[in-house]
Structure 1
């Protein structure tokens, strides 16, 4: 089946695996998965993975979707923060079921933006 994107839409399978660059234009990792809000279908977080070797290991950090900006020239996403900023952020739990509203508030608070459920 052919993949096609219309205007601003993109399939989630095309987003997962896309590289992410920090504010210094350094590749820091890739989008491992997207987390969707069950009721609205809104993308709440992109889980960015970096520090892995050949796809193994590495740390995962939830980033509010609003922090990512797509760069057509790079065919990648950019952040307005550094890798060091991300390394100080709350990490993604080892299991999706370990996610809590408190962790969500901490992530959004760390990046200084209102939580997606408040917008």
Structure 2
């Protein structure tokens, strides 16, 4: 027997978060959650990878955003991002071809410094 539970009152499966819309403070759609990155040691979500722009999966930019910058909004059915669009656009970014940036600790330092949050790996 297979048990399928992807959401409780306080918890949600990571696979259900993927594809969830992300909005700015005024409720305008900015992009979607592409993936969650979870710390192997603590089990805590470290950051989300957001897909911004593009059309039908082409020309997208990917932004790594500290998880604490996202708040779920039940009315919107998505996450509100606690930064301005300008702040997001000026953040370190990568394309699908540059996904190896996620293996670069210096890239992660730049992301967390940009958003003014302590890195998850301290």
TM-score (norm 2): 0.86
The 4+ residue runs of structure 1 with deviation greater than 3 A are: 1-4
| Structure 2 alignment gaps of length 5 or more | none
Separation in 2 of the partners of 1:84 and 1:73?
A: 24
TM-score (norm 1): 0.88
Query: How many pairs align?
Result: 118
Question: Which residue number in structure 2 is paired with residue 57 of structure 1?
Answer: 59
| Worse-matched range after superposition: 86-95 or 61-70 | 86-95
Contact map agreement 1:46 1:63 (CA 8 A) in 2: yes
Residues 26-53 of structure 1, C-alpha deviations (whole Å, 9 max, x = no match):
1000000111222222211100001120
Separation in 1 of the partners of 2:101 and 2:28?
A: 32
Question: Which residue number in structure 2 is paired with residue 117 of structure 1?
Answer: 121
Task: Go from structure 1 to structure 2 and tell me whether the alpha carbon gap of 1:8 and 1:92 turns closer, same or farther (over 3 Å shift).
Answer: farther
CA RMSD of aligned residues (A): 1.8
| Structure 1 alignment gaps of length 5 or more | none
Separation in 2 of the partners of 1:15 and 1:3?
A: 13
CA shift, 1:113, in A, is 1.2
